[in-house]
Structure 1
Amino acid sequence: MNGVKIVVTTEGGQPVKEVTTNAQGTWEVPTDKGKFKVTLDPNSLPKNAEVRGGSNVRTPTVFEGNCSTVLFALQAKGVAGQPQGDDGSGESSVWDTAAQLAFEGLNLGLIIALAALGLSLIYGTTGLTNFAHGELVTLGAVLAYMFNVGFGLHLIPAAVLAVALGGAFGYAQDRLFWGQLRKRGTGIVAMMIVSIGVALVMRYVMLIFFGGQNEAYAQYTAQPGIEFGPISAAPKNFVAMGIELAVLLLVGFALLRTRTGKAARAVSDNPALAASSGINVDRVIRIIWTLGGAIAALAGIMLGLSQNLKYTMGQDILLLIFAGVTLGGLGTAFGALVGSLVVGLFIQVSTLWVPPELKSVGALVVLIIVLLVRPQGILGRRERIG
């Protein structure tokens, strides 16, 4: 929203700067490190808009060499069920807001599903819970930014190169690292702990080379919205959602119909039996790692299109990725899709009733409830123990 007044002061009340938002609703204030008070002037908002949750003050902490993002989510007045008169406009506004949030939840859910698909496939074939998967998401976004902004390529070929390199990195990981640990007989718990160390190394290497600031791609950052009834979104959102859904369905059906997909499912069910049947288990796992790295890179690019890029973007959604995989059913491709869509929709729509800062908590509560009723997840299969 353009022209909204933002006042930044120190924690002690000393003025720092006053700015107004640009046409994209963003603003920036250079500061030193420390704790600050950021206040949105409600009088500068349009008459029919208000800050969601009612609080127009934020108190971010800025660390040296980093930036801090401050978000003021806006809504139409009365969306929390407050009457707007006898003409029913308040009820209409609630449904309009719910439709918009559902669309945004679907968009977020498809991005989470892309990232969750690779994680689910890797878990299904190796049993590894890979905590470094969030960094594979970040890597895809950073590589696309490097080709796009650093080398001057258009975002589309830059994205293709980033996805290819993401797949190559996934292949190299298994060939040079995870595969060697499997040959040495390293346990699953030990490998999971190693993946946490890999995540930390990748994260801070990207911090060194990418920096701690927020960045954006050179193309498709500011587009006028297209309205479909109560839903308003930029054209890039519709294109991105189409690509995400197509990739998810293509990979899912490839697992069901192709020879490699059937081999991957055989390895997932019983690696020893698959090997005795003539299936090259290591080759199948390597293909899955390549596919998982490529899909994670694509998820990072799509996430970078919907928000600014930063070196912690994969880490920020890792918990949601795990939630989507677990909710849908560990090791299942379509389970990752279904679970992630449920998580994305619930996160966004829940802001009708809860503050935006707590929206992820509700999704995790739903996860806990579902797993208490159906421990194997929505599309998971029951397993006999003993």
Structure 2
Amino acid sequence: MTADRPIASAARRILAVGVAALAAATASAAMLAAPAAASTTDVATTCTPDGTTACVSPVVLDSDNEPLPGIDVTIAGPGFEQVVTSTDGPVSVAVPEVGTYTLTIDEDTLPEGTTANATERQVTAQLGSTARGAFRVGEGVAPEGGGATDEPTEPADGGTSDGAGAGGEGEDTGIGADGSTQNVSGWPAFSQVWQQFGSGIRFGLLLALASVGLSLIYGTTGISAFSHGEQVTLGALLGFISVNWWGLPVPVAVVVTILVCAGTGWLQDMVLWGPLRKRGTPVMQLMIVTIGLSMALQYVIQMFIGGRSQRVLPSNAQPLELAGITLSTASWISMAVAVVVIGAMAWFLTQTRIGQATRAVSDNAALAAATGINPDRIVRIVWIMSTGLAGLSGMLLAISFGSFTWTLGMILLLLMFAAVTLGGMGTAFGALAGSIVIGIVVEMSTLIPGMPSSLRYASGLLILILVLLVRPQGLLGRAVRVG
């Protein structure tokens, strides 16, 4: 009882941390409120490139090289996806950041009896120019055999582009057998490396919000929570519903997302994990339960939003260059929120009694219980914090990358496991370090000559394999004797 009183008194500190994190998220999200209040109509299909704007334009022509209207083309890139319909005139869309974008023609919208010479095009968007990808549609048009090339980009000054890449340097690209863009001219310029490094830091920080929670869950319960990825997707979904269905301002939507996701953690532990712990259910069976919960949540989320990507903020993101790195303004704000929240978590784990009790339970639950700590109470707090952090991560990812799909959690889950394993299982600070490394590796792997961008997530899993072979305990983990 005497040990519970310090924990009860320290509850005020965790409340203060939560309020501080919510305040930081709310204050930063207030800067996003203006874009969210914009019209919810489709993104404008007339883009004027300039020094801060990159445009992408799908061109659909008939067999006589005349514009063919009424054909849907999906433009997808780094965290961005938008469907545009061809018209009798030029159609172009402002993209949130420089990089490679894929143009996919919707064959269901082609006139009956016609085919397209290609279903996909890869273009490189750059500031001050319009990247064009052309499709030819007609009767008897034969598909191209993998050597398809894109239309050259059109600079803002009306001159001819030399094929400059994201960093502004010349770059030769080719289309691989799988249709993905490959760099065939050699290693990229420093400006491109620096740009991708910045993108990697962004991805790593947002991934860390979810990975730290996953690591805390494993450390205190021993469960590898496969459903944690869906908690991230749930955060993106709640952000989308709050802004687009309920019409809430973005700051309010952030608070609602964090509170609801944290509430799902409390509910899960109250209804599911708590009773299973009391029954002494083995960890392996608990892990199987998380897999089943993950599958259930995936299809419930798909039922709400369908199979297509959705945008939390209906307006186009505005690019902002800092220190030579061009990202959307929303991305910079999201990174600032992540830094503040991660800093608050570090203070909580090291300076508060509940944080210290959490670390004690993570190190040795039996010994912690012998000193008067209530492990069940600590585990419940961990579930609440972890799911709240995952929800915040999901909403910030959806805002930063422009859109999300119901498969977001599945994609990120293995990267979260890779980050947690790299940093050291059960260590929150290790999860942070591992997430930053994974984020940088994933983003910069696209710069490797001949490396298709579609394989960038595989590079994170390669890191996971290498860590298990060379240093199984991770960067900050401790080697333990097995057997």
TM value normalised by structure 1? 0.84
Per the TM alignment, residue 215 of structure 1 is displaced from its structure 2 partner at its CA by 1.1
1:293 is aligned to: 387
1:22 to 88, 93, 96: 93
Q: Could you list the runs of 5+ residues in structure 1 that have no partner in the other structure? A: 10-14, 60-71, 82-92
**Is residue 37–residue 57 contact of structure 1 (8 Å, CA) maintained in 2?**
no
1:355 to 428, 448, 452: 452
Counterpart check, 1:283 vs 2:283: no
Q: Secondary structure at the match of 1:191?
A: helix
Which whole-Å deviations, capped at 9, do the CAs of 1:186-239 have from their partners, x for residues lacking one? Answer: 1111111111100010110111122222111235x4233222353212222111
Q: Secondary structure at the match of 2:211?
A: helix
1:383 is aligned to: 480
**How many equivalent pairs are there?**
355
Aligned pair in 2 of structure 1 residues 345, 150: CA closer, same or farther (>3 Å)? Answer: same
Q: Secondary structure at the match of 1:2?
A: strand
1:259 to 353, 360, 365: 353
Per the TM alignment, residue 315 of structure 1 is displaced from its structure 2 partner at its CA by 1.2
Counterpart check, 1:337 vs 2:428: no
Q: Secondary structure at the match of 2:94?
A: coil
Aligned pair in 2 of structure 1 residues 287, 367: CA closer, same or farther (>3 Å)? Answer: same
2:213 is aligned to: 118
2:174 is aligned to: 54
The amino acid that maps onto 2:174 is G
* Equivalent-residue separation in structure 1 for 2:238 and 2:181 (angstroms): 30
* Equivalent-residue separation in structure 2 for 1:102 and 1:315 (angstroms): 24
* Equivalent-residue separation in structure 2 for 1:295 and 1:360 (angstroms): 22
Task: Kindly report which structure 2 residues correspond to 1:299-318, keeping only aligned pairs within 5 A, or say none.
Answer: 299-307=393-401, 308-318=403-413
Counterpart check, 1:38 vs 2:117: no
2:258 is aligned to: 163
Q: Secondary structure at the match of 1:304?
A: helix
Percent of residue pairs identical:
37
1:373 to 470, 477, 482: 470
* Equivalent-residue separation in structure 2 for 1:323 and 1:161 (angstroms): 29
Per the TM alignment, residue 6 of structure 1 is displaced from its structure 2 partner at its CA by 4.7
**Is residue 227–residue 293 contact of structure 2 (8 Å, CA) maintained in 1?**
yes
Q: Secondary structure at the match of 2:189?
A: helix
Larger radius of gyration: 2
Per the TM alignment, residue 160 of structure 1 is displaced from its structure 2 partner at its CA by 1.0
* Equivalent-residue separation in structure 2 for 1:206 and 1:168 (angstroms): 17
Aligned pair in 2 of structure 1 residues 319, 6: CA closer, same or farther (>3 Å)? Answer: farther
Aligned pair in 2 of structure 1 residues 229, 74: CA closer, same or farther (>3 Å)? Answer: farther
Aligned pair in 2 of structure 1 residues 149, 57: CA closer, same or farther (>3 Å)? Answer: farther
The amino acid that maps onto 1:383 is V
2:306 to 189, 203, 211: 211
Which whole-Å deviations, capped at 9, do the CAs of 1:296-329 have from their partners, x for residues lacking one? Answer: 0001001101231211111111111110011011
- Displaced runs of 4 or more, over 6 A: 25-28, 33-36, 56-59, 72-75
1:327 is aligned to: 422
Higher strand share: 2
Q: Could you list the runs of 5+ residues in structure 2 that have no partner in the other structure? A: 1-53, 63-67, 74-85, 111-115, 122-132, 135-149, 155-160, 166-171
Counterpart check, 1:2 vs 2:97: no
**Is residue 421–residue 467 contact of structure 2 (8 Å, CA) maintained in 1?**
no
Aligned pair in 2 of structure 1 residues 183, 346: CA closer, same or farther (>3 Å)? Answer: same
Which whole-Å deviations, capped at 9, do the CAs of 1:79-106 have from their partners, x for residues lacking one? Answer: x34xxxxxxxxxxx61000000000011
* Equivalent-residue separation in structure 2 for 1:223 and 1:33 (angstroms): 28
Aligned pair in 2 of structure 1 residues 360, 8: CA closer, same or farther (>3 Å)? Answer: farther
Per the TM alignment, residue 120 of structure 1 is displaced from its structure 2 partner at its CA by 0.4
Aligned pair in 2 of structure 1 residues 3, 265: CA closer, same or farther (>3 Å)? Answer: closer
* Equivalent-residue separation in structure 2 for 1:121 and 1:363 (angstroms): 21
Which whole-Å deviations, capped at 9, do the CAs of 1:228-275 have from their partners, x for residues lacking one? Answer: 353212222111111111211211221111100111111112212222
Higher helix share: 1
**Is residue 232–residue 393 contact of structure 2 (8 Å, CA) maintained in 1?**
yes
**Is residue 232–residue 394 contact of structure 2 (8 Å, CA) maintained in 1?**
yes
* Equivalent-residue separation in structure 2 for 1:37 and 1:105 (angstroms): 30
Counterpart check, 1:273 vs 2:367: yes
* Equivalent-residue separation in structure 2 for 1:244 and 1:142 (angstroms): 19
Per the TM alignment, residue 373 of structure 1 is displaced from its structure 2 partner at its CA by 2.3
The amino acid that maps onto 1:22 is V
Q: Secondary structure at the match of 1:49?
A: coil
TM value normalised by structure 2? 0.68
1:235 is aligned to: 329
Aligned pair in 2 of structure 1 residues 295, 4: CA closer, same or farther (>3 Å)? Answer: same
Aligned pair in 2 of structure 1 residues 277, 142: CA closer, same or farther (>3 Å)? Answer: same
**Is residue 105–residue 120 contact of structure 2 (8 Å, CA) maintained in 1?**
no
